[in-house]
Amino acid sequence: MKGLRHKTKGDKVIWAAVFLLVVISLLVVYSATGSLAYKMYKGNTEVYLFKQTAFIAVGLCVIYFAHRVNYTIYAKVAKVLFLFSIPLLIYTLFFGVTLNEGSRWIRLPIVNMTMQTSDLAKLALFMFLARMLSRRQNHIKDFKKGFLPVIIPVAVTCLLIAPANLSTALLLGVSCMLLLFIGRVNGKHLLLVIGAALIPVSALILAAVIKHKSVDEDAVVKKEKSSKLTARVDTWISRVEGFVYGTKDDDLQSTYHVNQMKIAIANGGFLGMGPGNSTQRNFTPHPYSDSIYSTIIEEYGLVGGALIIFIYLVFLYRSIRLYKRCPYAFGAFLALGLSFTLVLQALTNMMVNVNLFPITGVTLPLVSMGGSSFLFTCLSIGIILSVARNVEQLEGKKERQENAAAQKANEEQEVDVEDAEEALVV
């Protein structure tokens, strides 16, 4: 155990945040899946608890081994990984496993587990983007030499993710814009991209308003005959409509979802109903993944909900601090980009649960029930800790050199004093 602790380096506050979140995950996932496991596995309520424990164990191993790798290795594989992720996204879009009218997953042949390819694409994009930003700082203000080479990968990745998972594409785009802004990209160029992105978003909101004012009786028939992409657009419009107009349409699935989360939060109050005492877990869709934050508030109250927010904000603060301490641009951009996307995802999930954002399919990082997304989150955190570990080593080396130089200077000063004393005696 001592040897493992000695080999575990990096930011200790980030390590503590990770352990707190996975402990909370075990408690809440066990509570949220108890009834489901009882129905699915004939009375065995611990099935999902054991699965989550296994995912956490594997995830912590991923973090450990990823943080032991020198982060400069990730710069070398960034381009290959990004070029691999693009055809993988295209394949997923047309031939992936279809769920909820969207193709987001592929099935891995050996382990027979589905993987959301957008998770791999996000990680590859941030590696590639950090690499490009660090290498083009001298030309970053130039439109052709600096801006286009970094914005094209972002646009391609987001456009390929958007048809099946619009919320992930939007969050990825926002995270990348923040990173590009910090990477000294020209503000006018960024405003141009934001203006272009607002066009389809405005069209989506307008479509929701029009749909609400003119209800089509044949909407269900049209939806059955529509393509996958058209069906996804209908889903987006319905979710925006439910968010804007509330509970007017009781048949709207997103409205039901929001109402159940509101009831859970109202039940929780300030201190909550206590661990395992949630009642809305039996009614709220996906109380162990998308809606897990409302389950946390129901059982642990506003105090528990505030604690979760505090942990993620501390994680972000330590990552920003790491960005300032890192002497090399690639490591600084990589750590900050990955932390941005994780914290933005967490904040979006929590905003959805408290009805400050339309319904999305994003999970709460490190807290929602495990899957491929959980493991990729662990890999991202491992990479951030790899940057922190190398920064600590560089700072330790610099401190040792400064101490050695100070000690040598003191020794030389003592010799000079002794020589002076001998001269006085003579």
pLDDT of the residue at 409: 67
Residue 286: which region, alpha, beta or left (left: phi > 0; alpha: psi -120 to 50)?
left
pLDDT of the residue at 417: 52
Question: Domain spans of the chain?
Answer: 1-212+227-386
CA distances from 168 to 85, 118, 361 (A): 15, 8, 8
The DSSP letter of residue 98 is E
- Element housing 305 (H / E): helix 292-325
The DSSP letter of residue 106 is E
pLDDT of the residue at 372: 85
What is the C-alpha separation between 82 and 78, in angstroms, rounded? 6
pLDDT tens column, 189-208 = 999 999 998 998 888 888 87
pLDDT of the residue at 25: 94
* Cα-based torsion angle of the residue sequence 215, 216, 217, 218 in order, rounded to the nearest 10 degrees: -160
Three-state secondary structure call for residue 165? coil
Three-state secondary structure call for residue 247? coil
Three-state secondary structure call for residue 103? strand
pLDDT of the residue at 219: 44
Q: What angle do CA 250, 252, 256 make, to 5 degrees?
A: 70
pTM of the model: 0.88
Q: What angle do CA 102, 103, 107 make, to 5 degrees?
A: 140
pLDDT of the residue at 21: 96
What is the C-alpha separation between 120 and 134, in angstroms, rounded? 21
CB 243 within 8 A of CB 212: no
Burial 187-209 (b: 16+ CB within 10 A, else e): eebbeebeeebeeeeeebbebbe
What is the C-alpha separation between 381 and 359, in angstroms, rounded? 26
Helix locations, 162-291, DSSP H: 166-182, 187-213, 219-225, 228-245, 253-268
Residues of the chain scoring pLDDT < 70: 1-7, 98-103, 110-112, 215-231, 246-254, 396, 398-406, 408-426
pLDDT of the residue at 209: 80
CA distances from 200 to 65, 138, 206, 207, 393 (A): 41, 33, 10, 10, 47
Neighbours of 248 (CB within 10 A): 11
Got the DSSP string for 341-385? HHHHHHHHHHHHHTTSS-------TTTSPPSHHHHHHHHHHHHHH
